[in-house]
Structure 1
Amino acid sequence: MNDQVEPTPADGTPDAATTTEPAPPANDDQRWREALRDISSGHAMVSVLSIVLAFAVGSIMILATDEQVRSSLGYITARPSDFFQAAWDSVWGAYSSLFQGAIWNGDAATFQGKIRPLTETLKFAAPLTLAGLGVGLAFRAGLFNIGGQGQMLMAGAAAGWVGVSMDLPFVIHLPLAILAGMVAGALWAGIVGLLKARTGAHEVIVTIMLNYVAYYLVFFALSRQALLQAPGSTNPKSAAMPDSVILPKILGDSFNLHAGLILALLAVAFVWWLLNSSAMGYRFRAVGENPDAARAAGIDVGRSYVMVMVIAGALVGLAGVNQVLGTVTSGVASDLDAGIGFDAITVALLGRSRPLGILAAGILFGALKAGGFVMSVSEGIPIDIVLVIQSLIVLFIAAPPLVRAIFRLPQKEATA
């Protein structure tokens, strides 16, 4: 045996050049997961400051669209007070009308009129919260559920089919339609989890592709009277839902707020319990933190992927049910998603994938939807400004170091 021993330095320690190996490069899934974990686990202060920054940039855009501000800018050196007064009036008028349309209408003569904006906010917040819970739950397991649109469409179509094709008492009809929607959303998202577990297919690609599949499937069903199309109609829309399957209004006929809000609150409580008090939730969180370590600890990672997508799809499906059986559309249409499937991603990010945070984010975005209409009508400000503010919130949330640098907050230390 002529094995040669490598020489060592005089102090007896091995040569680092001969004993250390370069770390293998992280694969794409690991990079995505680390980026998601960094974004979704940031400090709540970053979320608040992101909202502040978004509204600050939105103020600049409001000023740019105001004709009086632009005209006073032409002689700002001669009379700067005119410019600052016009700028203040423009921004204050915009955001006060936003508040008036979303929270409290002080000009209304009755108490019902004063609180009506808040009820509209809560009505818009319900589907956003439900869809955000589905997206956020998948985030906690390290998965990107970008398929909210498809899951909502399939769930809404299933709930709508039960609604128009069956004649049952209210106590049976409504729960059955809700259950059908949840099952459809769960199965549609479960396809993604199964493909991820069995083949390693990237969930972002699969969910986006399934959005298109769901859209055209629902459009096909709405174009055939034997399936969902309203009798005697040529439009791709179902008949209106019968009274036995409509979500009841919880504050009476004077308001549009319906029991979809109750479903959202129950879903928040369920997800909180699932993540914080159940063994399944512990497995989801462990897989989201490090699937390799979870696998080494005996957790079936593939099964966790399937289960979390099934539950997430059921939650997003409830948002579709809310749209079809509530007072928003009162029927199935190919546009029932109304952008909620993608807004849910923003809601989940802003809420840091925590149930209570998602509820708060859903209410904020519901307020932007409800108040944006009033702001546009009363102040002549383009409704697209609200969409820009929502997009800016996403931008700043996705870049925590930028927010910390702007407000001179301590940077998050890198972990080894």
Structure 2
Amino acid sequence: MWLGGYNSWSAYSALFHKVFGSSYDIGETIRTITPLLFTGLSVGFAFRAGLFNIGAEGQFMIGMTAATIVGVKLHGLPAIVHAPLALVVGALAGGLWGAIAGFLKSNRGVNEVISCIMLNWIALYLSNYLISSLVLEKGQQRSEMIQESASLSIGWLSKALDNARMDWGIFIGMICVALFYILLWRTKQGYELRAVGHNADAARVSGINVKGSMLKSMMISGIFAGLGGVFEVLGVFHYQVVTAASPGYGFDGIAVALLGGNHPIGILLGSVLFGALTYGSAGMNFTANVPTEIVRIVIGCIIFFVASHGLIQMFLKPRKPGRKPKKKGAVDGGSDLGLG
């Protein structure tokens, strides 16, 4: 910022003031964090199972679209039924969309990166088609408003935070953080998923159903991303826009998962950082006249330095203390034979 002729101290002061300056700003910062948390959990869960889920963007949109259709089309249901039904349908829709890539990977050997990229575009245009065909508001490029009974907003909390757009998403997200940890590190199924992620061939020899594990991991990953889309439409906007570009939360989730080391607690902290930077960038723009793109540069630098330790380890491999170089033809212990 200094090289660009901006006052960096004023810019960061404006960012912090934007994030913590009022109860409304705190609420809106939490709202910004929520979708990043869900997509970060989605990407991180797949990473732990040895899969690169670059399709969280499409799963997010499919979950959002399914929840919108249920929220608009079903009439006369009590809120205690309608809202949970829309949430479950949206989450399952995202999970099934992720399962497509998992099926192609496990049964046909299709690289999940390629299939997820294509499924992202299919999800975008399919969502636009469904909204335009089924629930489009006349004369508008958006859907009709969802039924009040399907809303997942929290009115009392919104009023307490000066009408910030608050919903149940952050609370469900915290539950998902706990479920992520419990499932992967405290259950037999989680052990199998992680074993497949470490070495699929060794897991197969050990009797683990590798194909089933890949499918399950992508479906669970898709459920996390689908939940992010559900709360975006049922808790924040209450309608869905027909758009030419996806919202981008799925791709930001990759950065959140990377920063968090694919651990649920790290992902939670990473989403807080990214959400605060994203929302606070508006304050930098309005108060210090700093372009909001600066924040994307900061985020890029964070990712670069987090990833750089791999490069450092690649070029700097310190020799273990006291270990002498082997003579030509000599055989080391079991560790070098893979028996350690």
If the length of structure 1 is used for normalisation, what is the TM-score? 0.72
Name the residue aligned to 1:222: 131
Residue 191 of structure 1 corresponds to which residue in structure 2?
A: 100
Residue number among 163, 180, 189 corresponding to 2:71 in the alignment: 163
| Counterpart position of 1:301 | 210
Instruction: Report % sequence identity.
Output: 38
Cα distance in 2 for partners of 1:234, 1:326 equals 21
Instruction: Give the corresponding residue for 1:147.
Output: 55
Cα deviation, residue 166, structure 1:
0.5
CA change 1:413–1:137 in 2 (3 A) is farther
Aligned to 1:269: 178
* Cα separation, 1, equivalents of 2:246 and 2:299: 17
Paired position in structure 2 for 1:96: 13
Given that 1:215 and 1:334 are in contact with CA atoms closer than 8 Å, whether structure 2 keeps it comes out as no
Seen in structure 2, the aligned counterparts of structure 1 residues 354 and 334 have a Cα distance that, compared at 3 Å, is farther
Residues 137, 308 of structure 1: 8 Å contact kept: yes
Q: Which gives a bigger RCO, structure 1 or 2 (Cα 8 Å, sep 6+)?
A: 2
Q: Alpha carbons of 1:186 and 1:66: their partners in 2 closer, same or farther (altered >3 Å)?
A: same
1:322 alignment partner, one of 231, 240, 243: 231
Give per-residue Cα distances to partners, 1:43-73, cap 9 Å, x unaligned.
Answer: xxxxxxxxxxxxxxxxxxx113326xxxxxx
Which residue number in structure 1 is paired with residue 152 of structure 2?
A: 247
TM-score of the aligned structures, taking structure 2 as reference length: 0.88
Tell whether the 8 Å contact from 1:130 to 1:316 is kept in structure 2 after alignment.
Answer: yes
Contact 1:401–1:411 (8 Å) recurs in 2: no
Counterpart-to-counterpart distance in 1, 2:49 and 2:306? 19
Q: Verify the 8 A CA contact 2:96 2:222 in the aligned structure 1.
A: yes
Q: 1:121 aligns with which of 26, 29, 46?
A: 29
Q: Is the 8 A contact 1:196 1:305 kept in 2?
A: yes
Q: Which amino acid aligns with 2:279?
A: A
Shift of 1:242: 2.2
Q: Structure 1 residue 375: deviation in Å?
A: 1.0
Following the alignment from structure 1 to structure 2, what is the Cα–Cα distance between the partners of residues 362 and 399? Answer: 20
Structure 1 equivalent of residue 266 of structure 2: 357
8 Å CA contact 2:132, 2:242 repeated in 1: no
Q: CA 1:180/1:138 → structure 2, altered by over 3 Å: closer, same or farther?
A: same
Asked whether the 8 Å contact 2:132–2:143 carries over to 1, the reply is no
Aligned residue for 2:104, secondary structure, equals: helix
CA 204–119 in structure 1, closer or farther in 2 if over 3 Å, else same:
same
Q: What corresponds to 1:179 in structure 2? A: 88
Q: CA deviation at 1:222?
A: 2.4
Kindly state the Cα deviation for residue 402 of structure 1 after the two structures are TM-superposed. Answer: 5.3
Shift of residue 338, structure 1, vs aligned partner? 1.9
CA distance in 1, matches of 2:192, 2:66: 30
| Root mean square deviation of aligned Cα | 2.1
Q: Is the 8 A contact 1:126 1:319 kept in 2?
A: yes
Distance 1:292 1:401, change over 3 A: closer
Q: CA deviation at 1:411?
A: 5.9
Separation in structure 2 between the aligned mates of residue 202 and residue 324 of structure 1, nearest angstrom: 31
Aligned-pair CA distance for 1:247: 1.4
1:331 and 2:270 correspond:
no
Q: What is the CA-CA distance between 1:372 and the residue it aligns to? A: 0.7
Unmatched segments (≥5 aa) in structure 2 = 321-334
Match of 2:323 in 1: none
Runs of 4+ in 1 over 3 A off after TM superposition: 334-337, 401-405, 410-416
Is the 8 Å Cα contact of residues 192 and 309 (structure 1) preserved in structure 2?
A: yes
Give the whole-Å Cα distance in 2 for the aligned partners of 1:391 and 1:334. Answer: 29
Q: CA deviation at 1:101?
A: 1.2
Encode CA deviations 1:88-127: one digit per residue, 9 max, x unaligned: xx1111111111112x22xxxxxxx3x3332222111111
Counterpart CA distance in 1 for 2:52 and 2:242 is 24
Q: Which residue identity does 2:150 align to in structure 1?
A: V
Distance 1:278 1:412 in 2: 37
Instruction: Check whether the contact 1:143–1:288 (CA below 8 A) recurs between aligned residues.
Output: yes
Count of aligned pairs: 315
**Distance across 2 between alignment mates of 1:216 and 1:353:** 30
Q: Tell me, yes or no, if the aligned pair for 2:63 and 2:93 is still in contact at 8 Å.
A: yes
**Residue in 2 aligned with 1:283?**
192
Displacement after TM superposition at 1:404 (Å): 7.8
Deviation at 1:412, TM superposition (A): 7.8
